[in-house]
Structure 1
Amino acid sequence: MEGYQKVSIRQWAVEDRPREKLLHKGISSLSDAELLAILIGSGSQKESAVDLSRKILRDVNNNLNELGKMSIESMCKKYHGIGQAKAITIVAALELGRRRQLSSPLQKPQIRASEDVFSLMHPLLADLPHEEFWVLLLNQANKVMQKLNISKGGISGTVIDVRLIMEKALYQHASAIILCHNHPSGNRNPSKADINITKKLIEAGKILDISVLDHVIIAENCYFSFADEGMLQQS
């Protein structure tokens, strides 16, 4: 078409570009065409990746199941700007989506008592020759969303950054956290440093509305729980 000039995605406002939009507004803000455009990366000389993606989706009545039935060969033949590599990327992404639907969601362990923390973390920490400090990020149902190794130290201690812990908890939208570390010496009792860091994290959590539910110290086949000993209020 004479006078036609493609507007490259790079010329769009930053907040409207698919990749940037995903980062700043979240993946749910993207249309199917924009998600497809991220996969193919670029369009043709006359079409941006988003325009080409819209064309592909129109041809399948905007039905991703129908798109999943298209072969690599037919995509390459039908659409200028779709080569074998791009077609393979589309097919692979749709197959991953199909397999995801067939997969069962992972069961997140729920923390009901200090024994649950011990059972979860003992295999990771009991036999280590050095100290490691971990944080469990919990949702509102006290289910573990993530286990984070915050630091590794020597035989007698490790350095803890309160800001780093709270930053990670906020990023994961955790409702509560549980602190956990090991004592390679076999002594399960908390040190002054253990008590102080617990106090600092409790105070930081109050400001950010993130509860510190417990601090469990693992030593060989035994453990110490701040919650069980009533020390969270004293910390």
Structure 2
Amino acid sequence: MTIMVRDLPAEERPREKLLGYGASALSNAELLAILLRTGTSKQSVLGIADEVLAHYKERGIAGMVHMAPAELAAIRGIGMAKAATIVAAVELGRRLAVRTAEQIQVVHGPEDAAQFAMPRFRFEQKEHFAVMLLNTKNHILGLKEVSMGSLQASVVHPREVFRAAIDYAAASMILLHNHPSGDPSPSREDIAVTQRLVKAGRIMDIPVLDHIILGDCRFLSLKEKGMMS
């Protein structure tokens, strides 16, 4: 027998639970159920929410960032209208994270640089290599994407890296790239690329201060690990 939301005690229904205890008290399925609003005659809205989350089980909830409305609408109990609501909510959350990160204007250390870049690259399914461009007081002038590679590697050309620095009249730069696996441990190629760009920076008189690898809510600084040279 399917238990519908209307059959639950009032304090256990997602909407009432949110209003009474705050959004943080709800599970992912309960939050999604509020967006979906209604179920079907054969399945409760919580059941449909569970099916959506199960669809993205391998990628985790982060996989929802890349979902298309048509992909969602193919799940039983979700039409295009509900799919559009979910996609819109996820995009609002992503934009909020980016907007919050943009409040960081000065880089005092690797954590500032990582927090600034994390919302942009955390959920990407391919490697993206970017440079954070700084002035003489380490104020952020911009974050310029230089290349996009496969899931295994990025192809980084020094001329493109330093062209961005020259365009922004940067005094220094921080290299950044993401690991789609979520593990920020550096590969041999990561270290080799870093050392090549550090040498080029000395010649160009635009020092490379660090290379930060972004994982899933974590990061690694090659400078802190002593891998810059």
Q: Does the 8 A contact of 1:178 with 1:214 survive in 2?
A: yes
Q: Whole-Å Cα distance in 2 between the matches of residues 144 and 161 of structure 1?
A: 22
**Equivalent AA in structure 1 for residue 200 of structure 2:** A
Q: Mark the runs of 5 or more structure 2 residues left unpaired by the alignment.
A: 1-101
Q: Does the 8 A contact of 1:133 with 1:179 survive in 2?
A: yes
Q: Once the 2 structures are TM-superposed, how far is the Cα of residue 108 of structure 1 from its aligned partner?
A: 7.0
Q: Which of 167, 174, 182 is the aligned partner of 1:171?
A: 167
Q: Which of 177, 180, 186 is the aligned partner of 1:190?
A: 186
Larger radius of gyration: 1
Question: Match of 1:204?
Answer: 200
SS in 2 for 1:109: coil
Q: Whole-Å Cα distance in 1 between the matches of residues 124 and 162 of structure 2?
A: 26
Give yes or no for the alignment of 1:127 onto 2:127. Answer: no
Could you give the per-residue CA deviations for residues 121-168 of structure 1, whole angstroms, max 9, x where no partner exists? 110111111110010110000111011011112211111111111122
Q: Whole-Å Cα distance in 1 between the matches of residues 134 and 181 of structure 2?
A: 29
**Structure 1 vs Structure 2 CA RMSD:** 1.5
**Equivalent AA in structure 1 for residue 159 of structure 2:** R
Could you give the per-residue CA deviations for residues 32-73 of structure 1, whole angstroms, max 9, x where no partner exists? xxxxxxxxxxxxxxxxxxxxxxxxxxxxxxxxxxxxxxxxxx
Give yes or no for the alignment of 1:109 onto 2:105. Answer: yes
> Closer, same or farther in 2 for the Cα pair 1:107/1:121, shift >3 Å?
closer
Q: Once the 2 structures are TM-superposed, how far is the Cα of residue 230 of structure 1 from its aligned partner?
A: 2.1
Q: Whole-Å Cα distance in 2 between the matches of residues 172 and 130 of structure 1?
A: 26
Q: Which of 142, 149, 159 is the aligned partner of 2:145?
A: 149
Q: Does the 8 A contact of 2:104 with 2:116 survive in 1?
A: no
**Equivalent AA in structure 2 for residue 127 of structure 1:** F
> Closer, same or farther in 2 for the Cα pair 1:140/1:218, shift >3 Å?
same
Return the TM-score normalized by structure 2: 0.54
**Number of paired residues?**
128
Q: Mark the runs of 5 or more structure 1 residues left unpaired by the alignment.
A: 1-105
After TM superposition, what 4+ stretches of structure 1 lie above 4 angstroms from structure 2? none
Q: Once the 2 structures are TM-superposed, how far is the Cα of residue 171 of structure 1 from its aligned partner?
A: 2.6
Q: Does the 8 A contact of 1:108 with 1:143 survive in 2?
A: no
**Equivalent AA in structure 2 for residue 119 of structure 1:** Q
Q: Once the 2 structures are TM-superposed, how far is the Cα of residue 107 of structure 1 from its aligned partner?
A: 7.4
Q: Once the 2 structures are TM-superposed, how far is the Cα of residue 221 of structure 1 from its aligned partner?
A: 1.2
SS in 2 for 1:135: strand
**Equivalent AA in structure 2 for residue 124 of structure 1:** R
Could you give the per-residue CA deviations for residues 89-111 of structure 1, whole angstroms, max 9, x where no partner exists? xxxxxxxxxxxxxxxxx977110
Q: Does the 8 A contact of 2:104 with 2:112 survive in 1?
A: no
